[in-house]
Amino acid sequence: MKRLTLEEIGKLAGVSRATVSRVINDYPFIRPEIRTRVQEIIDQTGFRPNSIPRSLVSSRSNIVGLIIPSVVQKVFTDPYFASLIYGIAQGCNRNNLVLSVYLFHSLEEKHNVIQTIVGTGLVDGMIVTGDNRDTEILDVFLNSQIPLVMVGEPDHSNVSFVDTDNYGGAYTATKYLIDLGFQRIGIIATEINKSSEDRLRGYKQALLDHNIAVDEHLIAWGNYTAESGYLAMREILPYRPDAMFSSNDAMALGCLRALREANIRVPEDMSLIGFDDLPQALQAEPPLTTIQQTIQESGCEAVELLLRLLNDDGPTPLRTILPNTLIVRGTTRAVQSQSNL
């Protein structure tokens, strides 16, 4: 049973293919009985118009592309991306869009795939996430006609993006630790992108606002992986922090491991707060206190922004900053008087 066409449906209903097209596209001025008749045939046959010629004539494929340019290791390990894809898929489904995902295994492949994307014009728009400092990707798309939305604020202004309130979240986390009574609060920071800088800024500002000097020894650098968090924690340990804020959960999990190895109990000997609220945060031992980022919602929102870009209403670029909230679990507790030795 081969695929039907408008023409054939028209024949079955005794109308022209134009009329069938109108019925499908909810064109208002059709005689009701004709509409009914055509609709019946459509329902009986389960007809759906082929999307390719539709795209050809409308120059809209209804396909949105998603690029995750992170290195292999990250995509494999970081469930952040799983949540994100999930949210983006949701946004697509709601808006009858198809999601095409582009992943690379080498720089050369990245280059080729990007060129193909812009060259063949299959997608209506792109969502890019991961390393927001990938200049090649940004350059190529900004110089193309393809609308772009980033997940995570890029350095480049003039780009539409959605991000969580990085500064605010970090500030909240740090302030919470301060309120718990801690004074030597360390941070596992990253320099990957603007978002991570904002988290560092939030941390510093919270300290400053509470008259705690920023101690560079209590700042260690990671790259968002659990492994890097582990290493960073070990670096910082000699400087005897009494609490830690990790710029993401994956690294916080690494911290937890480093602390376990060093026989430092959490939360008895050290409090720890993460950022993201991955599923793993809940499963950690003990469950991780963290800043809950609505990753899935970010994904949805990215699609919505893209859609607005495509229908170009309003000024561009578009920005959405989503709020986040502190989720208190098992890795934090107030300073105990007897532990002040």
Q: Residue 253 Cβ, how far from a copy of itself at the closest point, in Å?
A: 9
Build a one-symbol-per-residue string for 224-263: x at contacts with a copy of itself by CB under 8 A, - elsewhere: --xx-----------------------------x--x---
- Footprint of DNA on 28-67 (CB under 7 A): 29-31, 34-35, 49-50, 53-54, 56-59
* Token pair belonging to 89: 């898929």
Q: Which of 36, 93, 316, 325 binds a copy of itself (CB under 8 A)?
A: 93
Q: What residues form DSSP beta bridges with 64? A: 99, 125
Rounded Cα distance between 258 and 232, Å, is 9
For the chain, the residue count is 341
Region of 54-62, 197-205, 209-217, 301-309 interacting with a copy of itself (CB under 8 A): 54-62
Mask of contacts with a copy of itself, 108-147, x by CB under 8 A? -x--xx-xx--xxxx----------------------x--
Closest CA to 159 of 139, 185, 180: 139
- Alpha-carbon gap, residue 107 to 105, rounded angstroms: 7
> Does the footprint of DNA cover residue 122 (CB under 7 A)?
no
In Å, how far are 140, 191, 288 from 255, measured between CA atoms? 38, 18, 11
- 307 class by beta-carbon count within 10 Å (0-12 exposed, 13-18 middle, 19+ buried): buried
279 sits near a copy of itself (criterion: CB under 8 A): yes
Tell me the C-alpha distance between 248 and 253, whole Å: 9
Closest separation between CB of residue 45 and a copy of itself, Å?
Answer: 11
Q: Is 321 helix (H, G, I), strand (E, B) or coil?
A: strand
Using the rule CB under 8 A, is 77 a contact of a copy of itself? yes
Tokens representing residue 326 in the block:
């502190």
By CB under 7 A, residue 160 contacts DNA = no
Exposure of 21 in the CB half-sphere (CA atoms within 13 A): 11
Q: Which stretch binds a copy of itself (CB under 8 A): 90-98, 181-189, 240-248, 321-329?
A: 90-98
Which residues bind to DNA, rule: CB under 7 A?
3, 5-7, 10, 14-19, 21-22, 24-25, 29-31, 34-35, 49-50, 53-54, 56-59
